[in-house]
Structure 1
Amino acid sequence: MTMPSRSAFARPRLLIIGCGDVGMRLLPLLAGRFRVFALTSQPERCSELRAAGAVPVVADLDQPATLARLRNLAPWVLHLAPPQPDGDTDRRTRHLVAALGAVRRIVYVSTSGVYGDCGGALVKEYRPVAPKNGRARRRVDAERILRAWALVTGAMLSILRVPGIYAADRLPLRRLEQGTPALRFEDDVYTNHIHADDLARIVLQALTRGRSGRVYHAVDDTRMKMADYFDAVADAFGMPRSPRLPRAELAQLVSPVLLSYMSESRQLDNTRLRRELRVRLQYPDVATALARLRR
């Protein structure tokens, strides 16, 4: 087994909580800057994480007794883990802050769903949250818990509110294949987007440049309604467009979860992201990304 170099041990330690798709895209960007630890509840992922340059830490946010190893493990933390799928509070984040100990810097990846339905309005980061479903209420709870914890401990906290994440392998192709209907234009909602690779870079910028207690919208420049997004993907891949239906008719055909996504309309402003974090997006909008895929 190859031992880490002495320079690796000299690097600042960083802990990633929730090293899924975005975390794996982030790991190459952290190489040479940090000695990275990655929390996983799946022992079978350890070899994958090691190969990507992280030191795996096997523990489970749903099992507080397993989190003892996290105390004072790393002064830099990226919290990318979603809440558990039930309830109105984020028990996982509560378990995490109880276990962490001393932390200098933490970035939390939240969701734009915390705003609820905004009627298609342009939304800035200071808009009051108004979550309409359990998913969003759990995220609001996590943000509040982290703010209170950071205030007590002195940790610097930045929050990224993230919309729909897409990438070449994260497109609604199956939905298009199945012919799932979309809303007609007059009933449709504005959605927001960010490419997974850009999100990974935004997380790194927030870690190094984010202001303490600050919220940032991790969103691109796209101004598009949901059905138009599906049409753009369908056209890019030569697939039939989704049929469009009135809301009352569509509500009888789709799942409650899908209908909830089709019931919230907002346009996220990303001025703060560009001015304060100085982010330059590789994929500034969905059209640019799809054009590259076509090429």
Structure 2
Amino acid sequence: MSTSVAYVTFVDPNGFDDEKEIALAAWAGAGITGRVVRWDDPEVDWAAFDSVVVRSAWDYVDRRAEFLDWARRVESVTRLLNPAAVLARNTDKTYLRSLGDLAIPTHWVAPGEAVDFPDLDEYVVKPSVSSGARDTIRTGDRKKAETHAAQLAADGRTAMIQPYLDMVETEGETSLLYFGGRFSHAVRRNPALTGGALGSERQNGRAELRSPESDQLALAERVLAEFPEVLYARVDLVRLSDGAPVLIELELTEPYLFLRYAPGAAANLARALAEVL
């Protein structure tokens, strides 16, 4: 008997999510009937699904509280993947604090706190709740960085101040994809620190398949040990100036999975989902 699973997305008039069809086809091959639904559709009976898988809910940033309320409601009637507690933690990048030296060095400025951080050659300043490069700046001007951080804090948001790493110019970011706790594939990404439109990661030339180094795999597995109950995970790594890899972001909510980049990637996701079910 086929298992019914919701593939959760958002109102997507521009077709940003180009992974739906390949994922649903792989699910069908594993005996899973997938149905594409919007997370905010009031007509959906979530209890009718054997599981609900969050995929491209890319509008949650401006509606985070509503999105998390939805996640908790869904989890009360069926299995939600990834779990609501994971979504709550992962949608605010302050989770990086708990990962210590596994993550990129970050200075935090919460609402009401004074902006005081060390001199850097170049800064990246962004809010802790955001997606893509939204409301993110890269600048070598300390005053500009301070002003942006102060404005984010004044708006009731927590600001993150990080060093810009030259290594991203040559090596890029490495994204490691895991399904059911198992490594599936990895890509090299060329991050854009301006713009950050929805779906920008899938644009031609933004990524290429790569084989991760052993130190990157080891770091990714240490990070994921903190989140043992996830169906899907994207671990975004960069290298510091001394060559050591660090986590720049852990995507457990609605990551683009680069399913088209590696043969068998969609099947790996489907197999992991079937095992959970």
- The structure showing larger relative contact order (alpha-carbon pairs under 8 Å, at least 6 residues apart) is 2
Pair member with larger Rg: 1
Q: Where on the TM-score scale, by shorter chain, does this alignment land: which range?
A: 0.3 to 0.5
Higher strand share: 2
Structure 2 length-normalised TM: 0.38
Higher helix fraction (1 or 2): 1
Instruction: Give the structure-1-normalised TM-score.
Output: 0.36
